[in-house]
Chain A
Amino acid sequence: MTKIVDCRGQLCPQPLISTKRALKENVNGEVIQVIIDNATSCQNVSHFLTDNALPFSIDEQSGIFTITINSLGIEFNPKKEAEEYCEVSFSGKSGSYLVVLTSNLMGSGNEDLGKILMKGLLNTLPNLEKLPQEIICYNSAVTLARKGTDTAQSLVKLNNLGVKITLCGTCVDFFGIKEDIEVGTISNMLYIAERLSSGIHVVKP
C-alpha cells in the first residue's frame, strides 16, 4: 500500500507540514509518496528527511517531484531518531549494528549443539556492552520467537532493552506460527533487504 500526499499548489512550508503529518499518522508502515511542484519545497522536505534519518528517493518529471519515503518498519519519532542518529555518529555506544539470525541453530553441524549454542547466544546478547540496534530473524530463526521457548524469553528481554526484533513474514507463514509468536514485529522482504543494504554493520553469528 502506498499513501499519496499531494502537495501540488501548496505554499512553502505546507508540503513539509503535510509530510510530517503523514509520517506521524503512518502507523502501518506504508510507503509514502509526496508530490511537490516546486524545487524549494522539495529541497526542504528532503533536508528534513535526511536530518531525521528516514530513507527516501526523489524522482523528477517536468518540474513535478515525487519523493518516495520507505518508512517501512521505521517508527517516526523525531526525538528518538535524532538521539539514535547522534549516538551512532558521536559515541557509537549502542545501536550501531544489527544481528541477522538465519536459522534456529548457531553454526552448522550437530543439530543439538546448534540449538544449545543459539540459546546461549540469545542469553548472552543482553549482557553485551554494545547492544544491537535490531535483531532480524528469517528462515527457521523465526521459530526462536515462539511462545513458551527459552529463546523467546531472551528475545523479550532484549526487546525490553530497546532492541528491535523483526521477523520475516513469509517465514512465519511458512512455519504456520503466526498465532504462536511471543515477541517481534512481522515485516517483509523489502524492509529486510533495505536494512541489510543500509550500510549499517551486520553481524551474522
Chain B
Amino acid sequence: MSDDFDLLTTVEYGGCSAKIPASVLENILLNLPKVTDPNVLVDIDTHDDAGVYRISNDLALILTTDFFPPICSNPFEFGEIAATNSLSDVYAMGGEPFLALNIAMFPSKGLPLDAYKQILEGAASVAQKANTIIIGGHTIDDYPPKFGLAVVGRVHPDKVITNAGLKHGDILILTKPLGTGVIVAGKRLGLMSDTAYNEALFWMRQLNSTAAQVMQIIGVTGATDITGFGLIGHAFKMAKASNVGIKLYSSKIPLLPEAYKLADEGCIPGAAFRNLEYIGNHLHVDPGVDYNTKMLMCDAQTSGGILMGVRPERVDEAIKLLHSNGLRYSVVIGEVFQGENILITR
C-alpha cells in the first residue's frame, strides 16, 4: 500500500536544507562549557564534522550524528541517502564507521507504517555496504518523518583528518557534483527530467568511503564533507579553522545535470540564501563570476562530496585514484592562500 506513497508530500524543506542556519547555531554553541579532556582530539571548537576521542595510542573513536526530513519520494531511497549522509562525517575525518544507531521520528497514525519499515531497510542496506552494524535505535512519534544515524567510527589517532589542517599552497579537490538542493526543489515543482533526478539520487547514495581511502593513501592536510552549509559555507568553516584563505574557481565547479538550468530559472532554495548570509562579508566575488554558479556554490547539499586539501605534487595522483574508483566528477576547484576569507574567481 505504501508503494505509491510520496514522502516529499510531508515536508517543505527536505534533507540538509532543514538545518538551523550556521550563524544561529554558532551563537548557541558559543556559551557551552569548554571541553578540557586531553583525549578529546576534535570537539565543537573547530565546528568539524564529528568529535574524535582517543581510547589508546593506536585507536580513536569518531562520533557523529545526523538526521533530517525526507529528501526524496521513495522511503527506501530516503533511508539509503540519510544513512549515507550520516556515515559521511566519519569518512570526512579519515575514519571507518563500524557501529550505528537509528534515530527516527515517524507518526504512528496517518502515514503508512510500511514506509517507515522501508526507510529502515534502506539504511540497513547502506550500513551493510559500509561494514557497519546497526545495533539499535530510537523512534519518536512525530510528523513529519525524520531519519538518520548516530555513528561510531574508528581511526588511528595520528591519522585523524580535520578541517583545521589546511596550509598555504594546498590544492582543493571536490569529489561529488553540486546541486542536490536545487534539484530536489526542482523535482518537487516538476521542473526537471527523471534522468537528471536519478543522477542526483545516485550521487546522494554514494558513500564517501572511496574518498576516505584515497585521502589516507595520498595524505591530505585537511578535509570536510559538503552538506547543509553548501560549498562556500563548509569552505569558510575550513578556512577559519585552518587560519587560511580559500580561493574557489567558479568555472571549475562540478555540477549535477540540469542543476544550472534550474538555478537560472530561479529555482534556488532558501537555504542557499541563508548560507550566503552566513558567510556575509567574508565572501569576495570577483567581477564576472556567474550569479547562478555562485548560488549553486551556496546550495545546501545532502550527502555531498569531500572537499580535501592536497599538496600540489600529489594532486595528479589523487585525481587519478578518485577517477579510477568511480568518482568521475572529482576535480580541482580551488587553492589555499595565506590570509582569510573566501574568494570566488572566474
* A83-B266 contact, Cβ under 8 Å, with A17-B189, A47-B276, A78-B292: no
Q: Tell me the smallest distance from the CB of B23 to a CB of chain A, in Å.
A: 14
Interface size, chain B (Cβ < 8 Å): 23
- Decide if A91 touches B287 in the complex (CB within 8 Å): yes
Identify which of A40, A79, A83 contacts B270 (C-beta below 8 A): A40
**Does any Cβ of A come within 8 Å of B273's Cβ?**
yes
B255-291 vs A, CB cutoff 8 Å, 1 = contact: the mask equals 0000000000111111001001100000001111111
Q: Point out the residues of chain A lying under 8 angstroms from B268, CB to CB.
A: 13, 16, 44, 48
Q: Tell me the smallest distance from the CB of B140 to a CB of chain A, in Å.
A: 26
Q: Point out the residues of chain A lying under 8 angstroms from B191, CB to CB.
A: 17
- Counting residue pairs across A and B whose Cβ atoms lie within 8 Å, the total is 64
Q: Tell me the smallest distance from the CB of A85 to a CB of chain B, in Å.
A: 8
**Does any Cβ of A come within 8 Å of B142's Cβ?**
no
Interface residues on A, range: 20 to 34
* A13-B267 contact, Cβ under 8 Å, with A43-B273, A47-B276, A78-B292: yes
> How far apart sit A90 and B345, CA to CA, in the bound complex (Å)?
13
Identify which of A12, A19, A52, A87 contacts B291 (C-beta below 8 A): A52
- Decide if A13 touches B269 in the complex (CB within 8 Å): yes
Identify which of B265, B287, B291 contacts A51 (C-beta below 8 A): B291
**Does any Cβ of B come within 8 Å of A27's Cβ?**
no
Identify which of A14, A44, A51, A86 contacts B189 (C-beta below 8 A): A14
> How far apart sit A43 and B273, CA to CA, in the bound complex (Å)?
9
- Decide if A43 touches B270 in the complex (CB within 8 Å): yes
**Does any Cβ of B come within 8 Å of A201's Cβ?**
no
- Decide if B267 touches A17 in the complex (CB within 8 Å): yes
- Decide if B276 touches A20 in the complex (CB within 8 Å): no
Q: Point out the residues of chain B lying under 8 angstroms from A11, CB to CB.
A: 12, 188-189
Identify which of A12, A14, A18, A86 contacts B287 (C-beta below 8 A): A86
Q: Tell me the smallest distance from the CB of A12 to a CB of chain B, in Å.
A: 5
Which residues on A are within 8 Å of B, measured CB to CB?
Answer: 11-14, 16-21, 40-41, 43-44, 47-48, 51-52, 78-79, 82-83, 86-87, 90-91
Complex A-B, nearest 9 residue pairs according to Cβ-Cβ distance, in ascending order:
A20-B266, A86-B287, A17-B266, A16-B266, A47-B273, A78-B291, A82-B291, A44-B270, A44-B273
